[in-house]
Structure 1
Amino acid sequence: MDAWQTCVGGPSGVVRLGQYWGKLTEDERQMTVGGSRGLLHGREGELLLDLVYVFVLTRFSQRLVEDFTTERRIVLPEVGQTTLLLLALWLIWVHAAFVTSRADPQQPVTQLLVVWTMFGSMIMAVTLPHAFGDRAVVFAVTYVAIQAGKPVILLLARRDPGRHSPARHLCWAAVSAVPWIVGAALFPQSPARGVLWTLAIALDYTGLVLGWPVPGLGRTGAEDWRRAGKHLAERYQQFIIITIGETILLTGITFADKFTPDRVAPTVMSFATAVLMWRIYFHRAGTVFPAAIEGASHPNRLVKSGYYTHLVMVTGILATGVGYALVIDQPRGHQDPLWLAVILGGPALFLAGRSRLEYEVFARVSPSRVIGLLALVALTPAMVGRAPVIVAAAAAVVLAGVTAWDGTREWRHPDEAPSPQR
């Protein structure tokens, strides 16, 4: 007691502290240190996982930059490999978000699952630049360990009453582990590795889509998705934020390496584009997405659509960041026509995914999204051979136009409410 009195300023301090505590509302008490919920409602582990994924996305962007700048005769296979790695990392994050959306975040087993995913994701990120090279075994083994380890932890902890949900996922993880490990261990530097890993990731996504069906154990039903839906939608929102943040980080790193006056303009455009994508995503559909899932008659459809549409948007945002990094690196240099795939293709992918999200929420698509997407497509042939900074400026103008169009419309019409039938 003496030590406690010293910390708060003696006996009078204890009295003042008690008086202060008595004036707090219940919610305010829960938000103080030691409250049962805490400032992040016990979900600090999810925030840590997202911070690890900032590192993951940065490594992914660096690999994609190498795909477009390193002297290679065949670029598409390199980009295809990078895309496959992104699919694997995205699946790990989505499944972790699904599990934590259905579990108590303060339970030790839930926290162990998050830590397991965090550490494994960090190791996978370290191997990313050479995941198809001399670090393939580490990448594949770590991926399998994450995917199979989570259901094993749940089974050992007996957190599932019927023990069916983790058992189903473990069965699918065991099947896909074969092509992952065989491709990494037995086919070094061989196209067969890409084929086997493509088969493995296809199996993993098929399991997710179908609900990991296993004879005698059933599959993940609509009620499971309903329970996870609202929080999972919020997790999607958070991932969009960290992806946009990663593009800003990549912009800053690139500009810091080559701090010259001719790189100021593309740096400013890159930052402005990140802000524009943030504004476009959260304008209406992105904001009400969790509420739309909560009020939908078939929330499982909306949740499942969410991980596709957000994957497209995440890919578009990352590609956009890579495109601006290339421009900042060589603002006036001779443009490689393949750079158009990220400088203009990135924003196009983002708008395509955002249009799909809007359709799922409101059962319609704003004209600004469609016109912006068509404008980017129409600009592509005209931008061939232009200076990179001009191409980047054109992409930024299109996104600014989409944002300005959105700003002229008031959110007062009845059809702006989320579509209840979805």
Structure 2
Amino acid sequence: MAAGRGAVLLRPPESSGRATFLELFFDLAFVVALTRVSQRFAGLSNDTGWALAEGFGRTLLLFLALWLIWSHTAWITSRYEPEQPIIQAVVVGTMFASLVMAVTLPRAMEERAVPFAAAYLMVMLVRPLVVAVALRGHPRRLVPFRLAAWAAATAPLWLAGALGPDRLRLPLWAAALGVDYLAWALGWPLPRVGASRIGRWRIAGTHLADRYQQMVLIALGESILVLGTVFSGTDYSAQRAAAFAVAFATSALIWRIYFHRAGLLLTEALDRAGMPGRLGATSERTHLLIVLSVLVTSVGYELVIDDPYGPPRPSWLLFVIGGPMLFLVARVRLEHEIFGRVSRSRMVGLVALLLFTPALARWAPMVGLSVVAAVLALVSLLDARRSRGRSMEVSASPLAGEGPGDRDSEA
């Protein structure tokens, strides 16, 4: 009987695969968060050497903490019915905590560490307990209990990093976040209970794909916001106008390359999978890289538009060239997840950028951004040439072969 009462929270098979308006509202907090992440990255433009590496590492850690919150929420609304009041309350509470993390993020590694860590722990520790209690006697309650147990184990590291000396914050938080990600990858194993086999979870695959694609669009939207803000806030010149146009073309090409074939078929691949949990978990990591690459690239736009023909610096090479390279790596990975093959066009783009990088290190930022746009245009043209005259392929994911018989009791 208790399991029956808890079962009302589960997503029924006939539930819509589209994101609800509440989830789109929830994403607004991450619009703010991604903007703050970009601002922290942009603040590294004049750094070199160890200062650049440390600053990048600090900002990357904060982004990964935010991503973990967002991705866990996407999985919650893919496993549980988002129209249920308790799930809606969980999403709204997570949104508030995410907004706290977003507004404290610019100084989260400095004097605002305590509210950032407190908001993170509120989501990671309290939220799964609320879901577990709402599930009552249902077998799925063991999964959120696992999450809460692991969050409680890393909470002392988060609190020690927030309350302790500044020099210890980065290593303590890095260790805590590393454990949080490792626990997810392993299925949050506990003594006697074992691990939860994430690959066999029952999730709404269509919904999860929809959420990943929406986050990519949010990141691209943030890059467009950077374009408009930077260009409107600087003195007009023909050089800056040209940089603005090339940066916009780069974002448009990233959009085109992401959604070409594999990006469009992600929904179908997850929908066709007998048990989409394994593909969903792998795709989550791929989309983490894609969103990060778009953010890093958008910082490159800011640097180039601000000073198109300024002296070359290590920071602009990291953002202008490194971001698009990371995007192509992630897109190769997505192609393999959907079709089980390596994308030749994206490998051509990667090799081209690698070959150009030594020379671009000695040229002005505008030259580097122009080369990036040209390489991405080449990748897009190769994609178009390969698909010309062919019907849309059917996904053949090597990660989606599990059948319904593989389910476990707490899936």
TM-score normalized by structure 2? 0.88
Aligned partner (choices 323, 329, 341) of residue 346 of structure 1? 323
Cα separation, 2, equivalents of 1:41 and 1:309: 21
**Residue-by-residue CA offset, 1:320-378 (whole Å, 9 max, x unaligned):** 10001100111121121331111011000000000001011111122110000111111
Q: How far is 1:227 from its partner?
A: 2.0
1:119 to 2:96 alignment: yes
Determine if contact 1:248/1:274 at 8 Å carries over to the other structure. Answer: yes
Q: How far is 1:420 from its partner?
A: 5.0
Cα separation, 2, equivalents of 1:134 and 1:180: 15
Superposed counterparts of 1:227-242, under 5 Å: 227-242=203-218
3-state SS in 2 of match to 1:331: coil
- Change in CA separation of 1:106 and 1:388 when aligned onto 2, cut-off 3 Å: same
Q: Which runs of 5+ in 2 are unaligned?
A: 1-13, 400-411
Amino acid at match of 1:253: T
Determine if contact 2:17/2:206 at 8 Å carries over to the other structure. Answer: no
- Change in CA separation of 1:64 and 1:160 when aligned onto 2, cut-off 3 Å: farther
Cα separation, 1, equivalents of 2:271 and 2:354: 36
Cα separation, 2, equivalents of 1:65 and 1:43: 33
- Change in CA separation of 1:41 and 1:389 when aligned onto 2, cut-off 3 Å: closer
**Residue-by-residue CA offset, 1:127-147 (whole Å, 9 max, x unaligned):** 111111111111111111111
1:273 to 2:250 alignment: yes
Match of 1:355 in 2: 332
**Residue-by-residue CA offset, 1:69-123 (whole Å, 9 max, x unaligned):** 3689621011011111111111110000001111111111111111111111111
Amino acid at match of 2:123: I
1:136 to 2:113 alignment: yes
- Change in CA separation of 1:159 and 1:361 when aligned onto 2, cut-off 3 Å: farther
Q: How far is 1:160 from its partner?
A: 6.5
3-state SS in 1 of match to 2:387: coil
Match of 1:407 in 2: 384
Match of 2:197 in 1: 221
Amino acid at match of 2:174: T
Q: How far is 1:228 from its partner?
A: 3.8
Amino acid at match of 1:342: F
1:64 to 2:41 alignment: yes
Match of 1:247 in 2: 223
Determine if contact 2:246/2:369 at 8 Å carries over to the other structure. Answer: yes
Identity of aligned residues (%): 43
* Matched pairs, number: 384
Match of 1:34 in 2: none
Amino acid at match of 1:235: R
Determine if contact 1:362/1:415 at 8 Å carries over to the other structure. Answer: no
Match of 1:80 in 2: 57
Match of 1:171 in 2: 149
Aligned partner (choices 320, 330, 335) of residue 297 of structure 2? 320
**Residue-by-residue CA offset, 1:19-52 (whole Å, 9 max, x unaligned):** xxxxxxxxxxxxxxxxxx9999671111012122
Determine if contact 2:340/2:398 at 8 Å carries over to the other structure. Answer: no
Q: How far is 1:218 from its partner?
A: 4.0
Amino acid at match of 1:46: E
Determine if contact 1:297/1:420 at 8 Å carries over to the other structure. Answer: no
Cα separation, 2, equivalents of 1:393 and 1:209: 39
Cα separation, 2, equivalents of 1:256 and 1:62: 17
Bigger relative CO (Cα 8 Å, ≥ 6 apart) = 2
Cα separation, 2, equivalents of 1:70 and 1:250: 20
Q: How far is 1:201 from its partner?
A: 0.5
Cα separation, 1, equivalents of 2:286 and 2:18: 27
Match of 2:407 in 1: none
Q: How far is 1:184 from its partner?
A: 0.9
Q: How far is 1:178 from its partner?
A: 1.2
Amino acid at match of 1:182: A
TM-score normalized by structure 1? 0.86
3-state SS in 2 of match to 1:392: helix
Q: How far is 1:286 from its partner?
A: 0.8
Determine if contact 1:160/1:166 at 8 Å carries over to the other structure. Answer: no
Amino acid at match of 1:326: L
- Change in CA separation of 1:211 and 1:230 when aligned onto 2, cut-off 3 Å: farther
Cα separation, 1, equivalents of 2:136 and 2:375: 50
Match of 1:391 in 2: 368
3-state SS in 2 of match to 1:379: helix
Q: How far is 1:417 from its partner?
A: 2.4
Q: Which runs of 5+ in 1 are unaligned?
A: 1-36
Q: How far is 1:315 from its partner?
A: 1.2
